[in-house]
A and B are shown apart, each in its own frame.
Chain A
């Protein structure tokens, strides 16, 4: 049920997002912001019509979603809350978005980082320029932050009144942050901390947890014009680097992939990466069985697969990021760049 809800929410959200994108495109074209020869880069309504459906189906039919549904994972609930948060944000309802964000944070702490893209999107929707000096920017930020914090405090106090003790805070958030449970999963944490030297373990826990939150601010600066893409990247980073990742988290960010269909032509190694991800997904149960049941392999085998899988995910996300930036550059400067001497030019990062 929650999966269907998630899918519906995503469908509606993306539908709305497409309208916004289309409007924005039209506006920019009318304003002649785009380079003259980028017509083939611009998304047409024909293409965009099926995207919401694709997103919903991508989520519902994703084997990862099916697996987490079969495993009765609570991850589905978390995904639903995040999907509703995205919907509320894109619909422009600051209050609902704050409430859902607070709910998601309450559940697993990491969605805290989604505060930044949501704020950026809402600012954009209110046509408030993102300038540090502008008063209205700060006012709106304060408003949104207050809404978010208030709802978070209300939820936490509610659970306090239910339990009559604050014990749940260390046992919920402490459990997420300090990674005491080393049951093998698809993430990077379990084997790392199982093998960690005791006196370094605190240091590395801090490093790994900061790593999740670290990318938010640089991404916010770089992607302040594109908060929804920012949101996608941020969700992906959370699902890779959270302390207890599950395949359900991956399913959530993979549902967004059809939205970025238009980036397809700029992806550099999508084929290799999808092969890596598929092969790893197939090898997970195989090596798990070899280690735990057959006893013919040891933990390193399974660990190697988690490493490969995570590298695959990381490269996939950074590839999308690269493609997105590149498309933006082309949109601004024209598709057919030429050097001074008239030959076809290469784009390099500098």
Chain B
């Protein structure tokens, strides 16, 4: 995963740590600093006095290497050239400003040994913050804002709910006496500076509480958007945004709070600037469901912008897809050069970017990928609260996959840290969209509730979240307001213009204490007051469909229909087609027809395929006139593959990935400039250039194409028969080449003839 040099240095660091632990002056208590911390962390969870006894000691161990009672530590802290890896990181960890105490409850701040061991393990999933997220807070208590939570965390620990697993409690109780003993031992040793410490600690806490500007501003915002779709389904979109104020490419960052370490290290190690991964099951029916907040093509989609410093982009891409495949249990390792393209226009960086040199971009879609629980679980594990608290409680696999559409995505991008944009923060956006068919499962009624959909209800916000909201789309259709009612009454109502449409949202703020006052859980329900006449579905301004035509297994035609239903405005759209090499596109047959006339694209980028090496890439910028249908057709020929290149079910066909439509759709309603930081998350992934239009990315249906197949049972026969034919040629030519003509000489016959003649002689008959 990482260069081996680092591995060895890490191993060295580990050894050094162990050695230090043995040689250290405190070796008498038989306890390496790492172990102290681990126990200290365990201790945090216990109610009682031990906590406050040990915590300062532990903090000093962590923060103050210069004053430490490990005489060897300063020596070792200046590592030899070869062993920088772990130690230098550790030092940086120590030298962090005092305003940002590594949360001593968070095992990520473990110094030395155990951290090194963790690094050496190299497991991407090593995110040992299990203990805390599993502890659930009481329903009534408010989570503190991020900057202050460090001071409050210990207190939160005390309010461990009895529901916390028995395993946890066992661990806690096991740790307690030992840790308390250490605390007692440590206390006299602390004596020298005990008084100073006592003074320093409150100061420290005060600093942490008062100076949010100096603290790390990692922040988690979670939100759930529930929107009834025109066709009677309900779409639920979860968005979790983790902000991380760290300069990744500059030096290795070792401190992970909310940002998942697996992804953080991946981004740092491979020079990733932006990463967008979506795993989708089903197809978002734009025509019936309206415009999606975030659509993804069926299967797996991955597109990545690399840093300009990355020299071998293809290698980094290969490595990245393999690692992601491990992280998400998806077959992303099947991404290779045959399905990777470098689009020139369709995919622009969504975050901060200096240049858009598209050679740093890689895009791949695996339309065959099946998404299921094994992909959801690692995705949930990336959340700071896991699926134990907050909105993620609703993510119950058996319900999520019993739906018409399921799409989970991870977007990592650099964003401005503040308005002045002098520093870079990293944003991890985890989104999950699911569409429930409530109409058919609810006996023809379109009413729904959280419990009906997810078979769970919300009980609290994620304690680490600075924002936790549920939005319900109650925008009136045809201006009749009293069509639907939501219970319980929302905390507030938010009006926004989303994708050129005025929307009204009922907002439930899970962080407001009033919400859980009346009942322990929140079960949002929506009831339609009278049956809605679903005769007329509003058609989205831009939608598209695609199909394959033709018969037989030799040639075919791909047709894409793009609809612009805007009444008076024309707008351009970028179409991206990626077609695997085994369909040979005939570019001269490309026709684009709008309203019976040929429509000449203003930009075409075509990269022909190479057999078994790269796919076709066709990008076009097409102007869509107002209120029109544009038909794009291109013919192709199907290739015969080697028998090992077919999928196990060859007659099922081969998938062609969705084509991508990117457009700035003119909005009917003028949009206000909104503060990106404050607006709901689902509005803010794509940049909006001005008020008059908004960005849309649509995906068409994936196609299924049959290829001619050889007979898979025949390899031996074919090899034998073909070789026979070659041998016939070889044999007859060999015969003619090596022999010459001779007059046949009368032979005396074979043995049989001679025997017969002997017998004939005896019988007195003339010989043969």
Contacts and interface: CB of A to CB of B under 8 A. Distances in A.
Interface string B633-667: 00000011111100000000000000000000000
Interface stretch (A105-113, A254-262, A313-321): A313-321
Interface stretch (B221-229, B341-349, B617-625, B721-729): B721-729
Interface in B98-140: none
Contacts of A196: 642, 715, 719
Given A215-B733, A293-B554, A321-B736, 16 more contacts: A184-B708, A188-B722, A191-B722, A195-B711, A195-B715, A211-B726, A218-B733, A222-B736, A222-B737, A299-B709, A299-B710, A315-B732, A322-B736, A329-B741, A340-B746, A348-B742
B552 interface: yes
10 contacts: A191-B722, A192-B719, A195-B643, A196-B715, A298-B709, A325-B736, A347-B743, A348-B743, A349-B741, A350-B742
Contacts of B743: 337, 339, 345-348
A61 to B, nearest CB: 28
A75 to B, nearest CB: 18
Given A191-B718, A339-B743, A184 B732 contact: no
Contact of A183 (B640, B642, B729, B732): B640
A196 B725 CA distance: 16
A326 B742 CA distance: 10
A292 interface: yes
Interface centre among A208, A311, A318 (most CB of B within 10 A): A318
A148 interface: no
A314 B744 contact: no
B602 interface: no
A181 interface: yes
A183 B721 contact: no
Interface in B190-228: none
Secondary structure dominating the interface of A = helix
Nearest to A304: B721
Contacts of B741: 325-326, 329, 347-350
Contacts of A74: none
Nearest to A211: B726
Q: What are the 10 tightest A-B residue pairs by CB atom distance, in nearest-first order?
A: A318-B732, A293-B552, A346-B744, A349-B739, A329-B741, A195-B718, A195-B715, A314-B729, A192-B722, A345-B743
Given A195-B718, A293-B552, A347-B742, A182 B639 contact: yes
B725 A195 contact: no
A341 B714 CA distance: 56
A329 B736 CA distance: 13
Given A191-B722, A194-B642, A300 B737 contact: no
B643 A307 contact: no
B729 A190 contact: no
A183 B643 CA distance: 13
B747 to A, nearest CB: 11
Contacts of A287: none
B132 to A, nearest CB: 51
Contacts of B733: 215, 218-219, 318, 321
A204 B722 CA distance: 11
Nearest to B554: A292
A204 B715 CA distance: 13
B64 interface: no
A314 B725 CA distance: 9
Contacts of A190: 640
A127 interface: no
A349 B740 contact: yes
A161 interface: no
Contact of A181 (B639, B644, B718, B726): B639
A146 to B, nearest CB: 29
B645 to A, nearest CB: 9
B174 interface: no
Given A188-B722, A197-B715, A345-B744, A292 B737 contact: no
B711 A298 contact: yes
Interface string A170-204: 00000000001111100010111111111000001
A117 B639 CA distance: 38
A21 B715 CA distance: 49
A295 B729 CA distance: 33
B450 to A, nearest CB: 50
Interface in B400-420: none
B739 A311 contact: no
Interface string A225-243: 0000000000001001100
Contacts of A311: 725, 728
A145 B310 CA distance: 50
A218 B737 contact: yes
B76 interface: no
Contact of A219 (B718, B737, B742): B737
Interface in B683-717: 708-711, 714-715
Contacts of B740: 329, 349-350
B718 A314 contact: no
B669 interface: no
A335 to B, nearest CB: 13
Contacts of A240: 729
A345 B641 CA distance: 55
A214 B20 CA distance: 73
Contact of B612 (A180, A188, A321, A349): A180
A307 B709 CA distance: 18
A191 B710 contact: yes
Contacts of B728: 311, 314-315
A309 B347 CA distance: 52
A339 B746 contact: yes
A115 interface: no
Nearest to A326: B741
Nearest to A291: B708
B528 interface: no
A80 interface: no
